[in-house]
Amino acid sequence: MSEAILLTFNAGSSSLKLGIFSCRDTKARALGRGKIDFGDGLHALRYSIGDQRHETHIQADHNSDFSSVIAQTMDNLFSKVSGRLTAAAHRVVHGGLDFHAPVLLGAATIERIERLIPLAPLHQPQALKAIHALSDLHPRLAQTASFDTAFHATQSDLVRRIAIPRNMHDDGIRRYGFHGLSYTFIAGKLREIAPEIAGGKVVIAHLGSGASLCALNAGKSVDTSMGFSALDGIPMATRPGWTDPGVLIHLMRSGMADADRLEHFLYHDCGLIGVSGVSGDTRALLASDAPEAAEAIDLFCLRIGGETGRLAATLGGIDAFVFTGGVGENQPQVRARVAERLAWLGAELDSTFNERNQPVISTPSSRIKLLVLPTDEEQVLADEAIALLA
């Protein structure tokens, strides 16, 4: 019998991340990873199967013919992987008030996900494109969805409330939080490697081009930096993070009254690239001599430190701080600057451990543990899909 293969799809506005897993004995074992970068007509597909790396191009318009993109991608993957496709799992950013756990996708659930597009207008449609493309290509294929907002469903109504009229909160205008798949993985990893930490009060910083922080008490989300949308919280590569609503009113009155124009500005022209004028990539900013680049990094770290203080207040203390995401896992300079901002909480950084990207980068005398843990959203997608289908 050929091996059962599960594919995971993590769709973004300019790329699609893929996971390739074998399904055996109700366990998902990673076989490979891939990514499609959407260009103009010619899309780069880079993927690895075991130790073998491959690169090719897909010729299809991802805006008008996503089914062709998926079909060509799967042809490439299954030319290198022996087995039969038995299921697909999708990351969906927003579950709204409806979805607090992974679900099996059918016509009714897909329709409910589509109704949530106004809550995540840039992210939700991308996941739906992959879902619909696979449904067209493989109508009988089992598909599941896991939601970034679901991890934060354990937060209290008080924490999720925005100070607006109550009927608006009841209609769904509230703080949701995102990056839930990443936090799910890190919470599970902490239970595995450091149960004494996992049972305490922990702040996790998912730092990448999108970035947020989450406060966990005994492994459950109690507060997070992102709110109603993925624009909130700390500054990101191209998003501003927390912004005074008065700024938005001012922009609307001074030439940016169109909602689509304002949305594009907030998602693409702000954050680190807006402050620096150089790049939204922290690697480029750290390598730059421009004072504006240095200021962007300083602002990033300042806001992370400040948000940690707010989350510590919700928790009533903090036992550990975890760095994850592309920036958190790989950039000692950013971690060192954040640790300086956490010194008042008793954080002491071991510079040698930090430079080596060790799992624990705090000194033995540090009052709070500082950890670096790689995240794996694709593994969470696969595990949740298998558990659901089983």
pLDDT digits (tens, 9 = 90+) for 284-336: 999 999 999 999 999 999 999 999 999 999 999 999 999 999 999 999 999 99
- Where in the sequence of the chain do the CATH 3.30.420.40 domains occur? 4-147, 195-372
Q: What mean pLDDT is reported for the chain? A: 95
Look at residue 197 and tell me whether its pLDDT is greater than 90: yes
Catalytic residue among 40, 75, 136, 148: 148
The CATH superfamily label for domain 195-372 reads ATPase, nucleotide binding domain (3.30.420.40)
- Per-residue confidence band for 206, with pLDDT thresholds at 50, 70 and 90: very high
- The whole-angstrom separation of Cα 93 and Cα 178 is 7
- The whole-angstrom separation of Cα 333 and Cα 308 is 18
- Per-residue confidence band for 38, with pLDDT thresholds at 50, 70 and 90: confident
- The whole-angstrom separation of Cα 87 and Cα 19 is 12
Look at residue 187 and tell me whether its pLDDT is greater than 90: yes
| Cα angle 88, 100, 111; round to 5 | 60
3-state secondary structure the chain: CCCEEEEEEEECCCEEEEEEEEEECCEEEEEEEEEEECCCCEEEEEEEECCEEEEEEEECCCCCCHHHHHHHHHHHHHCCCCCEEEEEEEEECCCCCCCCCCEECCHHHHHHHHCCHHHCCCCHHHHHHHHHHHHHHCCCCEEEEEECCHHHHHCCHHHHCCCCCHHHHHCCCCCCCCCHHHHHHHHHHHHHHCHHHHCCEEEEEEECCCEEEEEEECCEEEEECCCCCCCCCCCCCCCCCCCCHHHHHHHHHCCCCCHHHHHHHHHHCCHHHHHHCCCCCHHHHHHCCCHHHHHHHHHHHHHHHHHHHHHHHHHCCCCEEEEEHHHHHHCHHHHHHHHHHCHHHCCCECHHHHHCCCCECECCCCCCEEEECCCCHHHHHHHHHHHHHC
Look at residue 42 and tell me whether its pLDDT is greater than 80: no
Residue 25 annotated as catalytic: no
Segment 77-103 mean pLDDT:
95
- Per-residue confidence band for 77, with pLDDT thresholds at 50, 70 and 90: very high
- Per-residue confidence band for 61, with pLDDT thresholds at 50, 70 and 90: confident
Amino acid 379: pLDDT:
97
Amino acid 122: pLDDT:
85
pLDDT above 90 covers a percentage of the chain that reads 91
- The pLDDT tens digits of the residues spanning 7-26 come to 999 987 778 999 999 998 78
The torsion angle over the Cα atoms of residues 200, 220, 226 and 17, rounded to 10 degrees, is 110
Amino acid 41: pLDDT:
66
Could you give phi then psi for residue 21, rounded to 5 degrees?
A: -130, 145
CATH fold, domain 4-147, is Nucleotidyltransferase; domain 5 (3.30.420)
- The pLDDT tens digits of the residues spanning 246-274 come to 999 999 999 999 999 999 999 999 999 99
Q: Are strands 211-217 and 42-49 parallel, antiparallel or unpaired?
A: unpaired
